[in-house]
Structure 1
Amino acid sequence: MRVLVTGAGGRLGQAVLPRLLDDGFTVRATSRRPRSDPALEWAVADLATGTGLAEAVSGVDAILHLATEPSSGRRAYQVDVLGTRRLVVAAGRAGVRHLVYTSIVGVDKVPIPYYRHKLAAEQVVAAGPVPWSVLRATQLPEFLDELLRTASRLGPTIGDPGILAQPVDRGEVGVRLAARLAAGPLGGVEELGGPEVLRFDEAVRAWRTARRSRRPLLPVRVPGRLGRALRDGGLVSTALPRGVRTWGDYLADTYGGTGRR
């Protein structure tokens, strides 16, 4: 099967591409700038403008749509919503038989602009002419790690202790995506979460232990609807099966500490 992968150079793409190649897929990857790799074919395409999309989708059996713009600005709408629409239209014209879209658990519950864009993109995919599947994954541990480093720039780690998270290993997301491509269109949404649900303060303690840090947690409650959604499990999935690699496993691999809380 020949698969086009958008967003192939991103964090998730870097984990997915080796899995697809190992599973025997023929891979064409997109980038906004020319790249070369003997293991796969790179195509230049830009979701924000539509440049190169018709050529990129030509001759492929399926599309794995990973590309996203994680911000709240106009470019996020251009890429995630309008760009997805451009891709779906081009794929329909090219006779693509399956489009898999990667989304995020909570896009229908957590009221932030980026999530609204992701939900709108899901709706574009579902309404399009190409048979489809959507995989919503919980947050990657790399994202949580970056969030904690940002929250600690002023000294203490600032955050709402009651927020719930469920980090899932990006390699395990890649395995699920490859399996979905092989299985064919779902015509619906499936979810993948990590093996454990953590309160923010639990995640901070493990992170601090792994980094051998003494930074205290400065509790600041997130107000309003957003705070309620985050504390009520808006970022958490009850779907089974779940991933197996834990937050502690990620911390041990990254920092060498045990990450034991």
Structure 2
Amino acid sequence: MTSSILVTGGTGTLGRHVVPLLQAAGREVRVLTRHGREPADGIEYVTGDLLKDEGTEAAVSGTDTVLHLAGGQKGDDEATRHLVRAARAAGVRHLVYISVIGADRVPLTWVRTKLDAERAIAESGIPWTTLRAAQFHDLTLTMVQKVAALPVLLSPGGLRLQPVEAREVAARLVELTLGEPAGRVPDMAGPKLYDLPGLVRPYLELRGRRPRPKLPVRLPGKAGRAYRAGDNLTLEGAEVGKRTWEEFLAERLG
């Protein structure tokens, strides 16, 4: 009998796709959550908080594989260090992490915490796998909805995005989790590049709303230079998803 796979962030955007795929592969799944839940659909829920390092040891106890999906706008590095310490003590044999494309190039604080989390895992002594992915369609939609509410269509010069389908990233992560530790694997991105107006226009069309006048803007500072240079992209050597932004919108809004 195989031991459980611990999934952190198992109730989030990515986790909701990952957990049933792991179950379909015949694996027992344990989900770490900050809010207590009763077992359901064959899933064991354990309560804990990685950032506060509460319940971490109990969460990893008896698991041989950890899939670390939990993340936020701050503290990912510290939360990951807490997880690594507990996983090492518990004898975990494979630690899988989802990071972001450009973690080592984009000078934003929350992105750099992802890089520090990557380093904590790579230096842990635990066999590991890290996948960097582009922004999910779901998160892109949240951004687009905010931009679409403005009276003008912002057009940051040089900014390009390659949003990817969360379900496709989930399938890749499950494949990696069930496989052997592979270190840093090729990044995963969506099939098309978009500027911000290119993301907003199909959203407005599906909502039956009139086009907005375009307002060119310049992203300031080091982050602006990084985005204009395409440091948030992987244009060669990436795993490429199949589902486009337009297809995602048609399903979600149509």
TM-score (norm 1): 0.90
The residue type equivalent to 1:116 in the other structure is: R
In 2, Cα distance between equivalents of 1:151 and 1:200: 9
The 5 A counterparts of 1:59-138 are 59-70=62-73, 76-77=74-75, 80-138=76-134
Contact kept, 8 Å, 1:148 with 1:157, in 2: the verdict is: no
In the alignment, structure 1 segments of 5+ residues that lack a partner are: 71-75, 257-261
- Structure-2 residue corresponding to 1:7: 9
- Structure-2 residue corresponding to 1:56: 59
The residue type equivalent to 2:42 in the other structure is: A
The residue type equivalent to 1:89 in the other structure is: R
In 2, Cα distance between equivalents of 1:159 and 1:97: 46
In 1, Cα distance between equivalents of 2:42 and 2:219: 46
Question: Could you tell me how far 1:239 is from its partner in structure 2?
Answer: 2.7
The more displaced of 195-204 and 38-47 is 195-204
Pairing partner for 2:24 from 19, 22, 30 = 22
Contact kept, 8 Å, 1:197 with 1:236, in 2: the verdict is: no
Question: Could you tell me how far 1:189 is from its partner in structure 2?
Answer: 4.0
The residue type equivalent to 2:37 in the other structure is: R
- Structure-2 residue corresponding to 1:177: 173
Q: Deviations over 1:21-68 (max 9, x none)?
A: 112221000101111223210011111111111111011110000011
Question: Could you tell me how far 1:11 is from its partner in structure 2?
Answer: 1.0
Pairing partner for 1:230 from 200, 215, 227 = 227
TM-score (norm 2): 0.93
> Secondary structure in 2 aligned to 1:35?
coil
- Structure-1 residue corresponding to 2:250: 252
Contact kept, 8 Å, 1:19 with 1:178, in 2: the verdict is: yes
2:198 aligned with 1:202: yes
Question: Could you tell me how far 1:227 is from its partner in structure 2?
Answer: 1.6
- Structure-2 residue corresponding to 1:190: 186
The residue type equivalent to 2:145 in the other structure is: R
The residue type equivalent to 1:187 in the other structure is: G
Contact kept, 8 Å, 2:186 with 2:239, in 1: the verdict is: no
Count matched residues.
249
Distance 1:12 1:6, change over 3 A: same
The residue type equivalent to 1:229 in the other structure is: A
Question: Could you tell me how far 1:92 is from its partner in structure 2?
Answer: 0.6
> Secondary structure in 2 aligned to 1:92?
helix
- Structure-2 residue corresponding to 1:149: 145
> Secondary structure in 1 aligned to 2:239?
coil
In 1, Cα distance between equivalents of 2:23 and 2:85: 27
The more displaced of 151-160 and 41-50 is 151-160
- Structure-2 residue corresponding to 1:259: none
In 2, Cα distance between equivalents of 1:190 and 1:61: 24
- Structure-2 residue corresponding to 1:243: 241
Contact kept, 8 Å, 2:148 with 2:200, in 1: the verdict is: no
Q: Deviations over 1:149-176 (max 9, x none)?
A: 1223332233415311111100000100
Q: Deviations over 1:56-102 (max 9, x none)?
A: 101111000001112xxxxx22xx11111111011011110000011
- Structure-2 residue corresponding to 1:219: 216
CA RMSD of aligned residues (A): 1.5
In 1, Cα distance between equivalents of 2:218 and 2:22: 42
In 2, Cα distance between equivalents of 1:213 and 1:19: 37
